[in-house]
Amino acid sequence: MGGRAGSFVCAGVAGLALLGAAGGAARAAALAVTLEYAAGPGCPGTADFKAIVTTRLGRDPFTEGAPDHVAVRIAPRGGSLDGRIEWRDAAGKWAGDQSFSPAGGDCLRLVRAMGFALAVQIQLLATARADPEPEAPSRGEAAPAPAPGPPPPPAAPSPPPATPPPASAPAAAPGVTAVAPSPTQGPRPVLAAGVGPAVGLGLSSTAVPLGRVFGAVSWPRLSVELAAEASLPTTTRRPDGAGFSQHHLLAGAAACRVLARWRGCVVAKAGAIWMTGEIDRPTSAWVPIVEAGGRLGFSQPVGRRAFLDAHADALLNLTRWTATLDGVPVWTAPRFAAALGLDAGVRFP
């Protein structure tokens, strides 16, 4: 029953022929299976996969507690995706499997092909179980001899051998046009946007609370992000009570290498810091700020499209400044800075 699927095209052609067989749907009505479905971020969910199989089969074959158990798993591998359908019986023993390894990283296309293949397999199993076994003759009883048929017609002369078709052109079922995927077609990018809180270290004498909004575009191995960050005011004081407050406004960009849910990024930020003095006569000033460094992030899917993203930045202050009051230095920006954040976002397929 199982096997290795080398081509989605062949699976689709075979499925159309089997699902269209006369009387097949009636025999398939009694077969139900228990489904276990697991897919990575950006892939359709369990309900979507069930809908694909139900549409192809013409009924809903999924029932909790059914003796036939089907496990459907999709996992990223390198720049592509690996799909696998595995069958187990009521005792939990392996009964067969089927693997899918498409080019590129289009998970929706992979899920549709796997759903189509599963519908075909359910149809085959139901048909095989519904066909009665031929009744064997009882012991001591001779099997009835077949009735004599008409004499065979005289043999016709053998036709000349036909030229075999080229090996590179597989035959397709009548009425079905097999279209191979373009070898140059790459995976489509996925867009995302989100917001989240963060805390900055090395921007002031105390930790600076930040809020940020970002947009990103990602491929299986690469993502690019643009973000804007703003801080709440923080205050630095001298022992005599005089001090100054400051707030930050930054724009940032990140280019990341993606490995499953983890990513490592190169980050750059630029903006300004506004400072207001709290002395006899308030004064204000601003200084530019430029930072660069690296980021380590981890993404956790929440449902089909939403996700949570945790990240930690290690930064180098390329511009340093010193805040003074009455000509006396109060605080000097350090060479290194850091930021920790947690974002919530949504992907747009």
Query: CATH number of 190-348: 3.40.50.10190, 2.70.150.10, 2.40.160.20, 3.40.50.1820?
Result: 2.40.160.20
What percentage of the chain has pLDDT greater than the value 90? 32
**For 30-53, what is each residue's pLDDT tens digit?**
688 899 999 878 888 999 999 998
What are the sequence ranges of the domains in the chain?
Answer: 3-130, 190-348
Residue 252 bridge partners (DSSP):
227, 269
Least confident stretch, 93-102, 192-201, 259-268? 93-102
Query: Does the reported pTM lie above 0.85?
Result: no
**For 64-105, what is each residue's pLDDT tens digit?**
888 888 999 988 876 678 888 998 887 888 888 888 877 667
